[in-house]
Amino acid sequence: MRSLPDLEPATAAAGRSPDTRSFAHLDDRALLALLLGRSLRQTSIPAVDALFDRFGDIAAIASADVSELARASGLGPRALTDLKLLRVLSERLVRAEASRRPVITSWTALLAYVRVALAEEPREQFRALFLDKRNRLLSNELVAHGTIDHAPVYPREVVRRALEVSAASIILVHNHPSAVPEPSRADIEMTRKIIDAAKVFDIQIHDHLVVGREGTASLRTLGHFW
């Protein structure tokens, strides 16, 4: 049976907090087991193994619905809460990095942010990142939440919200739960409608990103902007 390193007693005995280097060598399973072990009386290793067997990796585990997590692992409310807090914390960390500098010049941070937020979502979401004149993130908002392959989007609602938050530009983002980020014909047509609606108010659409587990596609890079 696998066991985890007992890191806390050593640091407590020395009268100091754990050094982050103590955890750097641990793989994802061990880290998650340590996290969940704080809210479980028994060892968390079997539950963590069950989660990885069901979902595959730590990103998919953090993104899964609470009911799915409970069925797969048998974890109780406290441990399930820890898992959802892990997801929220991850999103906020990458959002802080994306917001620290102008978004357009921090493309790597932007891609990391949208992938953490959307790549493992089981349902399609359409989000709008509203930016100010310096391309700093004003707001990241859910525009539509749909089924496994469709989220209804209304261009006038996207533009209306941009005016409400005084956005100068927008980055559109949605996910493909099928894992393949290739934009559909409907994605392209809807993007063009939003571009046309935004032009009336001198609001720029910088890009439309399609996020999947296999990567992220840019409609601008693919030549669907003009």
What angle, rounded to 10 degrees, do the helices at 66-73 and 77-100 form? 130
* 120 lies in the same domain as 81: no
Query: Which residues of the chain, if any, have pLDDT below 70?
Result: 1-22, 24, 39-43, 95, 97-105, 146-151, 226
Give the model confidence (pLDDT) of 5-17 as tens digits: 454 443 444 445 5
53 residue type, one letter? D
Give the model's pLDDT for residue 8: 47
| Domain assignment present for 9 | no
Residue 17 lies in a domain: no
> Alpha-carbon distance 9 to 164, whole Å?
53
Range of the domain at 153: 101-218
Report the alpha-carbon distance of residue 74 to residue 49 in Å, rounded. 12
pLDDT for 13 equals 40
Q: Which residue has the tokens 């493992």?
A: 120
- Give the pLDDT score at 12: 40
Return the percent helix, strand and coil in the chain, to nearest 5. Answer: 50, 15, 35
86 and 106 housed in the same domain: no
Listed in sequence order, the residues at least 6 apart from 40 whose beta carbon sits closer than 8 Å to its beta carbon are 47, 75, 76, 78, 79
Clarify whether residues 140 and 36 are in a common domain. Answer: no
In total, how many domains does the chain have?
2
Sort strands 137-145 and 125-131 into parallel, antiparallel or unpaired: antiparallel
By DSSP bridging, strand 215-218 and strand 204-212 are: antiparallel
Evaluate whether residue 166 is within a structural domain: yes
CB-based contacts of 31, cutoff 8 Å, min separation 6: 23, 58
pLDDT at 15: 47
* Surface-to-core class of residue 9, CB atoms within 10 Å of its CB (0-12 exposed, 13-18 middle, 19+ buried): exposed
Considering the domain architecture, whether residues 83 and 123 belong to the same structural domain is answered as no
Q: What is the CATH number of the domain that holds 54?
A: 1.10.150
